[in-house]
Amino acid sequence: MRTQLAEFMRRMEPGSVAVIPAAPEATRSNDTHYRYRQDSDFYYLTGFDEPEAIAFVAPAHPERKFMLFVRPRDPEQETWTGRRAGVVGAKERHGADAAFPVTEFREKLAELLNGARTVYYRLGVHPDLDEALIKQLAEMRTRSRQFTAPDSITDPGAILGEMRLVKSDAEIELMQRAADIGAEAHVLAMQNVRPGMYEYEIEALIEYHFRKSGAAAPAYGTICGGGANATILHYITNDAPLRDGDLVLVDAGAEYQGYASDITRTFPVNGRFTAPQREIYEAVLAAQTACVEMVKPSVTWDDLNDRAARMLTESMLRLGLLEGDVDRLIEEKTYRRFFMHGVGHFLGLDVHDAGRYKLDGEPRPLDPGVVVTVEPGIYVAEDAEGVPDRYRGIGVRIEDDVLVTGDGHRVLTSKVPKGIEEIEKLMAH
Ligand code: GLY
Ligand code: MN
Ligand code: MN
């Protein structure tokens, strides 16, 4: 059995069962779909990559601890939409103790739930399944001589989130590969960008490298923002020309075998930073480097956010973006005018990965095996008021992926430079 599934079973309450559905397919328009992306929890537990599947987990069952309900083989359908494992493949290739066509799930549900004290199931994501489950529980309660219905529906996310947060060696290898592919793509972008190119050409170059390297897709919508577009945090339009003398902010990461990288670099379109760009860039780089250096077990998100806020506020004061008393500006979060997001997030199967940021209301210390991003930025809108002219329309973010190790950290994304000299040197060739 897959180790993740065995560990999940070990952590489930005694006498419980779990219903974990695959992600639904997503319509793009009319009758065309987005390329299928499996639900991260489902994929983590099963490694099964087909839609319309449900995993049923029953640790106390003598034989059928792991059942898969799947799309049955169907030569005609498979001609249109691709190969299916079917019930035989679900058992032989995916380790299910038993497998059935997914159409039989509802009729088997009462029997499956009977006698369990708790059912782990995430409500609110699959409305049809929510309704079927709730109706089934209600019906079982009215037929109490025949059935013993579970008392509670519990979200499995608490267990799965904690498991997914701490990466195994095998997961770290995949994340390193995702990070390498991402880093190589950023290097290509730096080497190939020229004034007059369009933002989408950089996007295309990056995503070409992802696919060519075996990554399934970008882990999120690639951001290529030239000039003031860099000050729009989720800019994915990417349709403007890149101008001589502007910076371009590229936030792009690959998804490799389910695992994300998430990298941002900001570099000059013509290969040379101007003085004002350099001033903002150095401020962000100093904060980013300091925060990366802090990453080790026992450090908390509050520690990292506080450090970034202090360093960036001090720089904003020095550059004339803010005025006043540094402690007060931090206290009142005035820096949020130019640094409006957090310093980072957990990274894994999801780009904003599972796992709690606080434990019992307290900041959570980072543990070995956790992967985080560190990504401070300064964004000065084109029409920002009361700021020196020279900084208007400059947006800089620098983002690395960092693994917490037993005694410190390892930067997974170090293959792409971030120092001004290194970037200018790379771009000069
Ligand atoms: N690219 C998404 C993020 O940086 O959080
Ligand atoms: Mn990020
Ligand atoms: Mn990012």
Give per-residue pLDDT as tens, 356-405: 999 999 999 999 999 999 999 999 999 999 999 999 999 999 999 999 99
Sole residue written with tokens 């060696």: 169
In sequence order, the β-bridge partners of residue 400 are 374
Per-residue confidence at 5, pLDDT binned at 50, 70, 90? Answer: very high
The answer on pLDDT for 429 being more than 90 is: no
From the candidates 203, 262, 279, 350, give the one annotated as an active-site residue: 262
Task: Locate the ligand 1 atom nearest the alpha carbon of residue 375 and give its number.
Answer: 4
> Catalytic residue at 399?
yes
Superfamily (CATH) of domain 166-427: Creatinase/methionine aminopeptidase superfamily (3.90.230.10)
Give per-residue pLDDT as tens, 175-205: 999 999 999 999 999 999 999 999 999 999 9
Give per-residue pLDDT as tens, 45-58: 999 999 999 999 99
The answer on pLDDT for 331 being more than 90 is: yes
Contact criterion met (CB below 8 Å) for 259 and 295: no
Pick the CATH number of 3-162 from 3.40.350.10, 3.40.50.2300, 3.30.420.10, 3.90.1410.10: 3.40.350.10
Tokens of 417: 């430079």
Per-residue confidence at 226, pLDDT binned at 50, 70, 90? Answer: very high
From the candidates 332, 341, 356, 357, give the one annotated as an active-site residue: 341
Contact criterion met (CB below 8 Å) for 155 and 122: yes
Closest alpha carbon to 194 in 241, 229, 237: 241
Instruction: Provide the sign of the torsion angle of the four alpha carbons 123, 16, 42, 349, taken in this order.
Output: positive
> Catalytic residue at 251?
yes
Render 82-137 in DSSP notation, one character per residue: ----HHHHHHHTT--SEEEEGGGHHHHHHHHHTT-SEEE--TTS-HHHHHHHHHHH
Examine domains 3-162 and 166-427 and report if their fold is the same.
Answer: no
Domain ranges of the chain: 3-162, 166-427
Give per-residue pLDDT as tens, 77-126: 999 999 999 999 999 999 999 999 999 999 999 999 999 999 999 999 99
Helix (H/G/I), strand (E/B), else coil: 218: strand
Count of C-beta atoms within a 10 Å radius of residue 9? 18
Tokens of 303: 């520690």
Task: Locate the ligand 1 atom nearest the alpha carbon of residue 219 and give its number.
Answer: 1
Instruction: Provide the sign of the torsion angle of the four alpha carbons 164, 255, 71, 170, taken in this order.
Output: negative
Q: Is 250 in the pocket of ligand 1 (CB under 6 A)?
A: no
Instruction: Report the number of secondary-structure helices (H) and strands (E) in the chain.
Output: 13, 21
Tokens of 249: 């902010």
Compute, in angstroms, the gap from residue 344 CA to the centroid of ligand 2.
6
